[in-house]
């Protein structure tokens, strides 16, 4: 009932229009304008739970007496949109969204936090209790338990994940770089200290000189140092985020013996085509003609293809967005009568020059290439 009611009110009463930018530290941001919030599933879920707990007379509102038990009851006016001194399910959801947005927490962080807690929550109460913490995770409980109550909640885990995600972004680390570091440590960290020592990083055959990325000079690569290494390699190679993912997927699908490379026998398994196509693909990837295709060779080939395309993921995403906006007849092309009126890179004169095959219309790829050049 609560979810249906909130959906109706959101659709008719509020303009929830844009997301909140991520936070750069674990300190809360300044007050967030509630009309700038986007509600996620977790906000609705937590609002439903709070209504169950605090709406004791089940009238659909948390009234003046019931709200006294809320930890944020002194701030309730910020969320009482219609100023009736009562809180609806939607108004409670907005409070939860505000608390989440202050730390840049997204649904992605919530999902990951749920997975982390689920693996360790023996009594299935949705949090990590002292007895569960005593089993060894996390090694530094104080990093999560910010209110020092001895319990680690979903919100506390999600907040830490959001902080680390923001930090990685400032360091230029994308999700694919982070996952590469995580998987590399899982595979080559023989002494299980969650780092790579000199012997381990040699065995891992890293794409860049490891010592240059040992920022603290301890003779080991931490997960963050390793992620920075992979990030720099990806960007210097010319790979977009999707290119890096594609390269890893190709290796994962074809490397059946898990030795980190694809031989001619594995190449015949089908994902690279059949017959002449397969042979041509293998020759294309096997740059040094040693009979094996490595991840580095796949990355190099994909990077060359990316250079030929002339646009990256960001350009393509923007081209797709513009196509949705201006392709009124849904032909999957932007035609001259659909070109927007305006100046700059989207002027009709400029867009006309983007028609590379002279078919008097723009494909998504042509538009992406045009945006990249401009």
* pLDDT attached to residue 234: 92
* pLDDT attached to residue 25: 37
Averaged pLDDT, 216-235: 94
Of all residues in the chain, the percent with pLDDT exceeding 70 is 89
* pLDDT attached to residue 285: 85
Q: Is the predicted pLDDT of residue 356 greater than 70, yes or no?
A: yes
- Which of 111-125, 223-237, 266-280 has the lowest average pLDDT? 266-280
Specify the CATH architecture of the domain 313-373.
Answer: Orthogonal Bundle (1.10)
Q: Render pLDDT for 281-298 as a digit per residue (tens, 0 to 9).
A: 778 888 888 888 888 888
DSSP string, 180-205: HHHHHHHHH-TT-SSSEEHHHHHHHT
Averaged pLDDT, 47-52: 96
Specify the CATH architecture of the domain 2-101.
Answer: Orthogonal Bundle (1.10)
Residues 87/71/36/49 CA torsion (nearest 10 deg): -60
Q: Render pLDDT for 163-221 as a digit per residue (tens, 0 to 9).
A: 999 988 888 899 899 999 999 999 999 999 999 999 999 999 899 999 999 999 999 99
Q: Render pLDDT for 259-282 as a digit per residue (tens, 0 to 9).
A: 888 888 887 766 666 566 767 777
* pLDDT attached to residue 241: 87
Q: Is the predicted pLDDT of residue 121 greater than 90, yes or no?
A: yes
Could you tell me the end-to-end alpha-carbon distance of the chain, in angstroms, rounded to an integer? 50
Q: What residues contact 308, with CB distance under 8 A and at least 6 apart?
A: none
Topology (CATH level 3) of domain 107-169: Recoverin; domain 1 (1.10.238)
Q: Render pLDDT for 140-166 as a digit per residue (tens, 0 to 9).
A: 999 999 999 999 999 999 999 999 999
Averaged pLDDT, 213-237: 93
Three-state SS at 39? coil
* pLDDT attached to residue 171: 87
Averaged pLDDT, 94-119: 95
**Pairing between β-strand 196-197 and β-strand 220-221 as defined by DSSP bridges:** antiparallel
Q: Where are the domains of the chain?
A: 2-101, 107-169, 173-237, 241-306, 313-373
Same fold, 241-306 and 313-373: yes
* pLDDT attached to residue 8: 36
- Please say whether the structural domain 173-237 has been given the CATH code 3.30.43.10: no
Q: Is the predicted pLDDT of residue 14 greater than 70, yes or no?
A: no
Question: CA–CA separation, 47 vs 96, rounded Å?
Answer: 7
* pLDDT attached to residue 274: 59
How high does pLDDT run on average in the chain?
A: 87
Q: Where are the alpha helices (DSSP H) in the chain?
A: 2-13, 41-54, 89-101, 107-118, 130-133, 154-170, 175-188, 198-204, 223-237, 241-254, 264-267, 275-285, 295-309, 313-326, 348-352, 364-373
Q: What is the pTM of this model?
A: 0.64
Q: Is the predicted pLDDT of residue 13 greater than 60, yes or no?
A: no
Q: Is the predicted pLDDT of residue 130 greater than 70, yes or no?
A: yes
Q: Render pLDDT for 15-41 as a digit per residue (tens, 0 to 9).
A: 333 333 333 334 443 467 877 889 999
Question: Backbone phi, then psi, for 170, in 5-degree steps?
Answer: -65, -30
- Which of 34-38, 97-101, 165-169, 349-353 has the lowest average pLDDT? 34-38
Question: CA–CA separation, 331 vs 96, rounded Å?
Answer: 42
- Please say whether the structural domain 241-306 has been given the CATH code 1.10.238.10: yes
Averaged pLDDT, 222-234: 94
């Amino acid at each position: 009932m609560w979810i249906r009611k909130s959906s109706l009110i959101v659709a008719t009463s509020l303009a929830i229009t844009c997301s909140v930018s991520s936070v750069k530290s674990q300190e809360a941001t300044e007050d967030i304008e509630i009309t700038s919030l986007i509600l996620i599933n977790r906000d609705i879920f937590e609002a439903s739970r709070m209504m169950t707990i605090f709406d004791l007379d089940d009238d659909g509102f948390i009234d003046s007496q019931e709200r006294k038990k809320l930890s944020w009851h002194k701030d309730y006016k910020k969320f009482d949109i219609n100023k009736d001194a009562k809180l609806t399910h939607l108004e409670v959801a907005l409070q939860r969204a505000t608390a989440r947005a202050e730390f840049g927490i997204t649904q992605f962080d919530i999902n990951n936090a749920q997975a982390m807690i689920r693996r360790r929550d023996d009594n299935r109460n949705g949090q990590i209790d002292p007895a569960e913490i005593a089993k060894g995770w996390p090694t530094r409980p104080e990093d999560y338990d910010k209110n020092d109550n001895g319990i680690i909640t979903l919100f506390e885990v999600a907040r830490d994940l959001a902080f680390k995600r923001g930090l990685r972004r400032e360091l230029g680390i994308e999700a694919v770089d982070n996952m590469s570091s995580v998987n590399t440590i899982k595979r080559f960290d023989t002494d299980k200290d969650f780092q790579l020592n000199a012997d381990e990083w040699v065995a891992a055959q890293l794409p860049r000189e490891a010592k240059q990325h040992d920022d603290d000079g301890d003779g080991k690569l931490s997960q963050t140092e390793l992620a920075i290494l992979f990030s720099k390699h990806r960007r210097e190679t010319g790979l977009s985020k999707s290119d890096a993912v594609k390269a890893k997927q190709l290796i994962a699908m074809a490397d059946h013996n898990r030795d980190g490379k694809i031989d001619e026998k594995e190449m015949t398994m089908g994902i690279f085509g059949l017959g002449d196509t397969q042979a041509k693909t293998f020759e294309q990837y096997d740059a040094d003609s040693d009979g094996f295709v490595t991840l580095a060779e796949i990355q190099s080939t994909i990077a060359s293809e990316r250079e030929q395309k002339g646009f990256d993921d960001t350009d393509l995403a923007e081209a797709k967005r513009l196509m949705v906006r201006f392709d009124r007849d849904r032909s999957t092309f932007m035609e001259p009568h659909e070109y927007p009126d305006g100046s700059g890179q989207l002027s009709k004169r400029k867009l006309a020059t983007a028609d590379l095959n002279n078919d008097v219309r723009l494909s998504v790829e042509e538009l992406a290439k045009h945006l990249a050049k401009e």
